[in-house]
Amino acid sequence: MQAKPQKNSIKEAEKNSDYGSRKVFGRKAVKLSQTQERRLEDSLPEVEIPFSTDVINPDQFFDSHGPLHMEIGFGTGEYTLSLAEAYPTHRIIACEVFKNGIAALLKKMEGKDFKNIRIIKEDAIMALTDMFEDESFDYIHINHPDPWPKKRHTKRRLIQTTAVELFERKLKKGGEIWLCTDATHYYDWMIECFNTSTGVELICDKGRLLDLNRGPTVMTRYEKKGLLKGRAPKYLRYRKRL
Ligand SMILES: C[S@@+](CC[C@H](N)C(=O)[O-])C[C@H]1O[C@@H](n2cnc3c(N)ncnc32)[C@H](O)[C@@H]1O
């Protein structure tokens, strides 16, 4: 596979990282409308997997036993919904800290009986660490993580070598992690972080979202905004070695 990172300062940036302190650098909620508040109060409990510091059994939250996905930072949920519609027997756990985004996904789910989407409204790193056994997931999806381009903010990036280790642990053998960004520096950074792991291999550095089986494609809200500004998305896929 071709993807080559630029030389950058990953070691230096992580040296003093407080990544392990579990501070989340997600989007800040803007004031919620009454309808959004109501969705979070009334609709969320129906599909929520409450955060727990104990390990949970995902089977308790789904009717099917299909492949298990984790989407980290779903934003307003376009990808989540598309994945759930394309693969109704798969189980999708969607994690987001941005309340307006959670309300937006709940709105999209209204009137449709999605049995295969469940939401965790907390930091995905905490959720993965505490709530799931190792080798739980078939797929992890991360679309357009916040790029934090400034050097002094590199420790805020979701992708770090510690996160790669965590993803690798939580994936089943042969499980895949799909990533997408339109920021060149972040693409290079991701590659450099993943290159530190011998447990995963790069299987694809191009291709559209959502072609598990060459199925439908979807553009996330962030991706559309980026394209309008001339930023083309880049994709990466890694597989945990067998
Ligand atoms: C740039 S937005 C992209 C949203 C969406 N994936 C898209 O492509 O439109 C990144 C999202 O990740 C969320 N996020 C950041 N860190 C997170 C974390 N540790 N756990 C869950 N969500 C997180 C942010 O709140 C934000 O909504």
Q: What is the pLDDT of residues 209-226, one digit of tens each?
A: 445 544 336 778 888 888
State whether the beta carbon of 73 lies less than 6 angstroms from ligand 1.
yes
> Which of 130, 146, 205, 211 is labelled catalytic?
146
What's this model's pTM, rounded to 2 decimal places? 0.88
In three-state secondary structure terms, 186 is: helix
The domain 32-240 belongs to what CATH superfamily?
Vaccinia Virus protein VP39 (3.40.50.150)
pLDDT of residue 184: 92
Distance of CA 40 to the CA centre of its chain: 21
State whether the beta carbon of 231 lies less than 6 angstroms from ligand 1.
no
pLDDT of residue 8: 44
Residues 36 and 100 sit within 8 Å (Cβ to Cβ): yes
Q: What is the pLDDT of residues 129-164, one digit of tens each?
A: 999 999 999 999 999 999 999 989 999 999 999 999
In the chain, the N- to C-terminal Cα span, in Å, equals 18
pLDDT of residue 141: 95
Residues 167 and 138 sit within 8 Å (Cβ to Cβ): no
Q: Of all helices (H) and strands (E), which one includes residue 90?
A: none
Q: How far is the CA of 58 from the centre of ligand 1 (A)?
A: 22
Is 146 considered catalytic here?
Answer: yes
Tell me the best of 144, 178, 182, 229 to mutate to test the pocket of ligand 1, counting ligand atoms within 8 Å of each CB and taking the most. Answer: 144
Q: What share of the chain is helix, strand, coil (3-state, %, to 5)?
A: 40, 20, 45
User: Domain residues of the chain, as ranges?
Assistant: 32-240
Q: Which residues does the chain have with pLDDT short of 50?
A: 2, 5-20, 209-210, 213-216
